[in-house]
A and B are shown apart, each in its own frame.
Chain A
Amino acid sequence: AQSVTQLGSHVSVSEGALVLLRCNYSSSVPPYLFWYVQYPNQGLQLLLKYTSAATLVKGINGFEAEFKKSETSFHLTKPSAHMSDAAEYFCAVSEGNEKLTFGTGTRLTIIP
């Protein structure tokens, strides 16, 4: 069965600082991995996805994530945080069965 663990339900970083949001997964087959962002009272928007091609995946808004099989991780990073990055971030895994399993989310706060 597939599962996702997001370490840190709340993360605060200063504007301009590095953003690092952690995600570890469990999957019985090679996984597909996703990061979604949710702004208040809105739906989820896809940031980036890993589909067994390049292990370093670049997404929208300057975010990227690296798939590390040995660590079963797919951490999300951004070199320099912007105020507009404040939102909730969800990591998700799929085993190709059309069902996404989400982590519990990380709320990112940007300190001016």
Chain B
Amino acid sequence: NAGVMQNPRHLVRRRGQEARLRCSPMKGHSHVYWYRQLPEEGLKFMVYLQKENIIDESGMPKERFSAEFPKEGPSILRIQQVVRGDSAAYFCASSPGTGALEQYFGPGTRLTVT
């Protein structure tokens, strides 16, 4: 059973470009979560999605960031017009559904903005 897959593992973007981060949850998991880890800090919750629905986006910056989890395909975290402060590790986690307490994490995408 494959774990949570994230790609790319490393992404370099120039200021002003767009970054697209992909996450494929574990097989059978319908809930996806995105977290951001800044250098020397813990993980901060960004958004929680189910198929075709955003359930909780209280941790998402109000501008430039968006997330989706379509009926088919991976979840996408999109950052428009990246700035240096967006440089971080972005982790995706998945769980099988409501009431499941454990979240299973992917290896992360390390975004560097130059």
Out of B6, B45, B55, B58, which one reaches A100, CB within 8 Å?
B45
Contact B42 A98 (CB under 8 A): no
Contact B95 A98 (CB under 8 A): yes
Contact B56 A98 (CB under 8 A): yes
Q: Which of chain B's residues have a CB closer than 8 A to the CB of A94?
A: 101
Contact A104 B107 (CB under 8 A): no
Contact B105 A45 (CB under 8 A): yes
How extensive is the interface on chain B, given as a class? 20 to 34
Out of B42, B59, B101, B105, which one reaches A104, CB within 8 Å?
B42
* B38 smallest CB distance to A (angstroms): 10
Give the interface SS of chain B, mostly helix, strand, loop or mixed: strand
Q: A74-99 CB contact bits vs B (8 Å, 1 = yes)?
A: 00000000000000001000101111
Query: How far apart are the CA atoms of A65 and B7 in the complex, in Å?
Result: 34
Contact B101 A102 (CB under 8 A): no
Please judge, given known A-B contacts A43-B107, A44-B91, whether A101 and B45 are in contact too, CB under 8 Å. yes
Please judge, given known A-B contacts A98-B33, A98-B56, A98-B95, whether A90 and B42 are in contact too, CB under 8 Å. yes
The contact sample of 21 A-B pairs, CB cut-off 8 A, is A32-B101, A42-B107, A42-B108, A43-B105, A43-B107, A43-B108, A44-B91, A44-B105, A45-B105, A46-B102, A90-B42, A98-B31, A98-B48, A98-B56, A99-B33, A100-B93, A102-B35, A102-B42, A102-B44, A103-B42, A105-B42
Give B contacts to A, CB under 8 Å: 4, 6, 31, 33, 35, 41-45, 48, 55-56, 58-59, 91, 93, 95, 98, 101-108, 110
